[in-house]
């Protein structure tokens, strides 16, 4: 008996299906905990967790395969808002959010919180400026909107280029993350882990396109949010902050602020360990001065505007049944994302407090080095070079500036520090894998869809049959995925750097043409072309210039603190100026285009692009 993947009956049974799935996952968790109590080793628990979830995703991916255009590109435009919200949240929260965010807050303090504010506030821009209008437009891909609104193959082509540059930058980071986790869980070399991760990703997206990705992403969201929240609740209860850590961890923040001067946070370490850092930044106190505030708000700005320009996120809102649902779906996405992001600072706080508070049994700062070195988690992470202890002043006591670690391990190591059972570590590994895989899926699909729909079908061969187009998309998925894995195995940049760059690329090239396409009737083709080309070009030049101050790009130092994480500010400004100036210098768009914009602005009626392929 085949399952129906659309229609009212299926949508109505969704809550039940996913409730059973969630129950099943919790049951699996309980089973693993039981096995652990029988004496099963940490290694096997990790392997079983990752393997079990991979098999489930692949199962959903294979079951929901499709050969229909609407199902392949936009999941049949039938995904209910709440479920689309979960799928978007999984699509959105990458390996970086899951694995690196709490560690970043732990290590870098208040300045790092800009990511949290930026990665949530961007959804206000999506809901108010973009999603409902793009849904009304009825496009299949983001360049589809640019190409139809402004007209012309070159405009469409430029949008495809921006999309591919931004998404490819992003996807290498995600494949890196899946590779890292797979390598650790299965104890295989990183290079093999990367290809194994890619295989899992492709199984989900190859056969069923957007429809398969949607239903796997919902499943992945459930795994990742459970995996993120359980350790936080556990630690909160263990440290005496009660069952509602989010309401009560303020006193933990204050306790850290009291302890910081006592243990000397801020004293620079005298030793250095390559790739690792000692904690020198205050937890909740922002640095002084206008430049620090400026750096905070510019990072927030880049992450927000970048969010609103990322094609793999925008395309999720093409899958809802109506314009109103698209809007509601943005709100639900933000809610589901919020659940994780407002937990990250709590995790960082508890994790830090249990390390530094002398009243807690888990504390290591101020303890004797011999005693600390005998802890199992310290040994385990030191062995693989992600943690190091140097007794710089040779007093036999561990000071805060003698403890070095890679911030990325905080989320993965916190359960072990807190002395939680291994089953939690296995759960966290499965959650990290889900986060990275779901984002990689969305990104690969965004690229493959735009190349097959916009480049191949709309530009190169407008007569191509449906079957040929879907086949092209699948082949492209393989090629881009392999390309991403090949680049990932070179380990060029860190996960976070690559993610921030992707945001800046997307905002430099796409934000202004997308917004003005709806909000400024006068905006025309020449202006959009100028906006995309000048924006991406300037952003790219600035990135290269800040990264290589000695080279010929002609920039000795960054402008007012705008470093490589913030180059989008320069790109988007250039893009806006170029688009407005060129539009005003050239003719207004035709009557027909202006009427099209009028139609986009009201929810009712047919989509602009007819829904028949």
Partner 1 sequence: MRELSAADRAEHWRQTRNLTILHLTVWFIFAYVVHWFALPLNSIDFFGWPLGYYFSAQGSLIVFVVQLFVFNRQQHAIDVKFGVDERE
Q: Which residues bind partner 1 (CB under 8 A)?
A: 110, 113-114, 116-118, 120-121, 123-125, 127-129, 132, 246, 248, 250-251, 253-254, 257, 284-286, 288, 293, 296-297, 300-301, 304, 322-324, 327-328, 330-331, 334-335, 338, 341-342, 345-346, 598, 601-605
Among candidate residues 538, 521, 528, 504, the one with its CA nearest the CA of residue 581: 528
Complex with partner 1: residue 129 or 188, whichever CB lies closer: 129
- Bin 152: left if φ > 0, else alpha if -120 < ψ < 50, else beta: left
Q: Please, what is the minimum distance in Å from the beta carbon of residue 110 to partner 1? A: 7
515: tokens are 């917004």
Beta strands per DSSP E along 265-412: 277-278, 387-389, 403-405
Supply the DSSP symbol for 404: E
Beta strands per DSSP E along 262-307: 277-278
Q: Please, what is the minimum distance in Å from the beta carbon of residue 606 to partner 1? A: 10
Among candidate residues 565, 408, 438, 571, the one with its CA nearest the CA of residue 498: 565
Q: Please, what is the minimum distance in Å from the beta carbon of residue 605 to partner 1? A: 7
Q: Sheet containing 387-389: which strands, arranged edge to edge?
A: 277-278, 403-405, 387-389
Q: Please, what is the minimum distance in Å from the beta carbon of residue 339 to partner 1? A: 10
Complex with partner 1: residue 325 or 441, whichever CB lies closer: 325
Helix, strand, or coil (residue 498): helix
Give the C-alpha separation, 320 to 601, whole Å.
Answer: 17
Give the C-alpha separation, 438 to 214, whole Å.
Answer: 9
Q: Please, what is the minimum distance in Å from the beta carbon of residue 554 to partner 1? A: 31
Among candidate residues 422, 44, 434, the one with its CA nearest the CA of residue 227: 434
Beta strands per DSSP E along 113-199: none
Q: Are 236 and 245 in contact (CB under 8 A)?
A: yes
Give the C-alpha separation, 45 to 52, whole Å.
Answer: 10
Complex with partner 1: residue 136 or 156, whichever CB lies closer: 136
DSSP tally for the chain: helices H, then strands E? 28, 3
Beta-bridge partner residues of 403: 389
Complex with partner 1: residue 10 or 342, whichever CB lies closer: 342
- Helix H or strand E segment including 102: helix 101-108
Q: Residue length, the chain?
A: 613
Give the C-alpha separation, 57 to 53, whole Å.
Answer: 6
Complex with partner 1: residue 165 or 346, whichever CB lies closer: 346
Complex with partner 1: residue 463 or 604, whichever CB lies closer: 604
Give the C-alpha separation, 156 to 454, whole Å.
Answer: 7
Complex with partner 1: residue 127 or 203, whichever CB lies closer: 127
- Helix H or strand E segment including 196: helix 190-206
Q: Please, what is the minimum distance in Å from the beta carbon of residue 333 to partner 1? A: 9
Complex with partner 1: residue 288 or 550, whichever CB lies closer: 288
Complex with partner 1: residue 60 or 330, whichever CB lies closer: 330
Q: Please, what is the minimum distance in Å from the beta carbon of residue 118 to partner 1? A: 8
Helix, strand, or coil (residue 368): strand
Complex with partner 1: residue 398 or 600, whichever CB lies closer: 600
Neighbour tally for 286: CB within 10 Å = 13
Complex with partner 1: residue 108 or 401, whichever CB lies closer: 108
Q: Please, what is the minimum distance in Å from the beta carbon of residue 248 to partner 1? A: 8
Q: Please, what is the minimum distance in Å from the beta carbon of residue 250 to partner 1? A: 3
Q: Please, what is the minimum distance in Å from the beta carbon of residue 327 to partner 1? A: 5
Q: Please, what is the minimum distance in Å from the beta carbon of residue 446 to partner 1? A: 23
Q: Are 168 and 480 in contact (CB under 8 A)?
A: yes
Q: Please, what is the minimum distance in Å from the beta carbon of residue 279 to partner 1? A: 17
Complex with partner 1: residue 197 or 345, whichever CB lies closer: 345
Burial of 531 (0-12, 13-18, 19+ CB in 10 A): buried
């Amino acid at each position: 008996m085949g399952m129906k993947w659309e229609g009212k009956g299926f949508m109505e049974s969704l809550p039940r299906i996913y409730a059973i799935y969630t129950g099943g996952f919790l049951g699996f968790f309980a089973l693993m905990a039981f096995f652990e109590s029988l004496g099963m080793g940490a290694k096997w628990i990790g392997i079983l967790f990752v393997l079990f979830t991979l098999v489930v995703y692949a199962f959903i991916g294979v079951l929901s395969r499709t050969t229909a255009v609407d199902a392949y590109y936009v999941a049949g435009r039938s995904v209910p808002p709440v479920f689309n919200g979960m799928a978007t949240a999984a699509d959105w929260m990458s390996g970086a959010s899951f694995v690196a965010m709490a560690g970043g807050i732990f290590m870098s303090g208040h300045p790092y919180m800009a990511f949290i504010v930026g990665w949530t506030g961007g959804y206000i821009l999506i809901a108010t400026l973009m999603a409902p209008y793009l849904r009304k437009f009825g496009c299949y891909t983001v360049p589809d909107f640019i190409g139809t609104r402004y007209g012309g193959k070159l405009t469409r082509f430029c949008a495809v280029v921006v999309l591919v540059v931004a998404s490819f930058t992003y996807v290498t980071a995600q494949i890196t993350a899946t590779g890292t986790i797979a390598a650790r869980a299965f104890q295989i070399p990183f290079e093999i882990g990367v290809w194994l991760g890619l295989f899992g990703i492709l199984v989900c997206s190859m056969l069923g396109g957007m429809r398969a990705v949607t239903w796997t992403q919902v499943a992945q969201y459930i795994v990742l949010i459970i995996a993120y929240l359980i350790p936080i609740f556990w630690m909160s209860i263990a440290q005496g902050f009660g069952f509602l850590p989010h309401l009560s961890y303020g006193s933990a923040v204050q306790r850290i602020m009291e302890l910081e001067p006592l243990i000397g946070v801020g004293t620079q370490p005298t030793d250095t360990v390559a790739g690792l850092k000692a904690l020198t930044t205050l937890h909740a106190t922002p640095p002084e001065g206008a430049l620090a505030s400026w750096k905070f708000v510019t990072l927030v700005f880049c992450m927000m505007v970048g969010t609103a320009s990322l094609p793999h996120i925008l395309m999720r809102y093409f899958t809802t049944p109506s314009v109103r649902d698209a809007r509601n779906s943005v709100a639900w996405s933000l809610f589901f994302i919020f659940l994780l992001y407002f937990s990250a600072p709590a995790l960082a706080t508890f994790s830090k407090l249990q390390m530094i508070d002398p009243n807690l049994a888990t504390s290591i700062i101020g303890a004797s080095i011999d005693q600390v070195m005998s802890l199992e988690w310290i040994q385990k992470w030191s062995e693989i070079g992600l943690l190091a202890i140097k007794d710089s002043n040779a007093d036999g006591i561990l000071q805060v500036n003698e403890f070095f670690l890679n911030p990325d391990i905080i989320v993965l190591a916190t359960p072990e520090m807190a002395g939680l059972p291994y089953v939690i570590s296995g759960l966290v590994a499965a959650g990290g894998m889900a986060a990275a895989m779901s984002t990689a899926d969305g990104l690969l699909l965004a690229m493959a869809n735009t190349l097959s729909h916009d480049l191949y079908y709309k530009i190169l061969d407008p007569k191509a049959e449906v079957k040929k187009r879907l086949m092209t998309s699948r082949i492209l998925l393989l090629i881009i995925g392999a390309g991403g894995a090949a680049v990932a195995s070179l380990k060029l940049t860190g996960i976070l750097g690559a993610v921030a760059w992707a945001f800046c690329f997307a905002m430099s090239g796409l934000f202004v043409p997308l917004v003005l396409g709806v909000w400024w009737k006068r905006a025309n083709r020449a202006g959009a072309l100028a906006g995309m080309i000048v924006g991406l070009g300037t952003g790219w030049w600035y990135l290269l210039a800040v990264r290589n101050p000695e080279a010929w790009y002609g920039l000795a130092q960054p402008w007012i603190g705008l470093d490589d994480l913030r180059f989008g500010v320069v790109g988007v400004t250039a893009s806006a100026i170029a688009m407005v100036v060129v539009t005003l210098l050239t003719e207004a768009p035709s009557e027909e285009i202006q009427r099209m914009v009028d139609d986009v602005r009201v929810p009712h009626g047919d989509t602009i692009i007819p829904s028949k392929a």
